[in-house]
Each structure stands twice: as structure tokens, then as C-alpha cells.
Amino acid sequence: MTVLNVALVIFLILAALAVERTKDLLGAVVVFSAFSLMMSVLWLILKTPDVALTEAAIGAGVTCILFIAVISRTERYEK
Amino acid sequence: MNNLIVSTITRMVVPFIQLYGIYIILHGHISPGGGFSGGALIGTSLILYTLVFGVKKAEKKFSHRVSEIAESGGILLYIAVGLIGMIVAGSFLTNLGAGFPKGTPGELISAGMIPILMIGIGIKVASTMITLFHTLIEEEDV
């Protein structure tokens, strides 16, 4: 279980760095959604299924859709 | 969007998502979950419907008027139940001291007024989600 935990935390750090580095905002939103999904699995390992459920619905679902709606209203590439 | 596979699968899957949301809301006091998580699931299913069938068709199913009534009704239900506790027993949201039935611990009908509060929160969160998305999408190009 410790190996899975460490792998998830390393993935979280890499995903957070990638979101900050990416110039393509649509790609950044997709990486952020993956970050949220892995965070949800990590909450489940930490024995809070309540927060994991909310994170999977809000973080990976609704936030991603709202960001994509905003991008479709504005520009895709950061200047 | 005119895609046969996407529209057929959506029509089949949306009722099950909503049923799961209702299950999570109703079992909020005896298992993980609650009003916020279940309401978010129901709101997500309505967002999926809007994405596939367009805003016009979704407005027919869940218009702004219905959304206003659901949003205000959910929070008013919460406040009304809280005020009952305040009037009967002295402080806001008093549960068993105000005479709400206790039920059998661990069963579905238990914990006094908590299930009623969960239903109120669920309605409020679901309509808030769908209102946010509709307001972002339906605005005409400036």
C-alpha cells in the first residue's frame, strides 16, 4: 500500500507542475482533471470515502466542464 | 450534436446517474455521502443532458423558472426545519429535543430531521449546478 501511496503523491506533484507549465489551456484543464481523479483515489486510501465521492463529482466532473465552457468563450492559448 | 451513439447512451445512462444521486442523498445519515455529494451527482447528470441535446431542449426539461423555485425551496425547507427546532426547544436546528422521531439507529428512517435536511441540501445543490452551467453556456456571442 505504501508503494501505491508514494506513486500517487509523485503523480500529483508532476501533474501540478505540468498544469503550471502548459501554455495550452485546454491541455492544462485535462491534466487538472487527472490531478483531481488521482486526488480522489488518495482520499479513498486515507479512509475518507465521503470526501473522495465529492472530489470525484466536483473536481473531476463539474470543474472541468466549467473551465472548458469558459475556454470556449475566450481564447485557447496563453500569451 | 447529432451523434446517434452518444445520444442513445446518454438517454440510457442519465436515469441511473440520477437514481444513484437520490440513493446517496437518502442514505446520507447512515453511510458516506450526503446532500452535497448526491446533489452534485444529479446536477452532473443534467449537465450531461445539456451537453448532448443542446440548451434549447434542456430548457424545456428544466427551465429557469423551475430552477428558481427549486433553489429557493431547498434552502427554505432547511430554514423551516431549523426554525421548528428553534421554536419548540430554544436553539436553531435542535434535533431530538424538539420531538423529531428517533427511529431505529442504523435503519433508513432514523436520526430525526437529518434526512429532511439532506433532501433540502440536495435540491439546492443540484439546481445551483445546472443554473451555473446554463448561465455560462446560453449567453449570446458579444
Residue A50 near residue B37 (C-beta atoms within 8 A): yes
Q: Could you say which of A50, A62, A69 has the minimum Cβ distance to residue B129? A: A62
Residue B74 near residue B124 (C-beta atoms within 8 A): yes
Residues spanned by the domain of B57: 4-138
Number of domains in chain B: 1
C-alpha A12: how far from chain center: 8
The full set of domain ranges for chain A reads 2-73
pLDDT for B15-56, tens place per residue? 999 999 899 988 888 888 888 888 888 988 988 888 888 888
Chain A residue with the nearest C-alpha to that of B131 = A66
List of residues 6+ apart from A28 with CB closer than 8 A:
A18, A19, A22
- Candidates B37, B38, B4, B35; CA nearest to B21 is B38
Confidence of residue B109 (pLDDT cuts 50, 70, 90): confident
pTM of the entire predicted model: 0.82
**Shortest alpha-carbon distance between residue B13 and chain A (Å):** 16
- DSSP 8-state symbol, A74: S
Chain A residue with the nearest C-alpha to that of B17 = A57
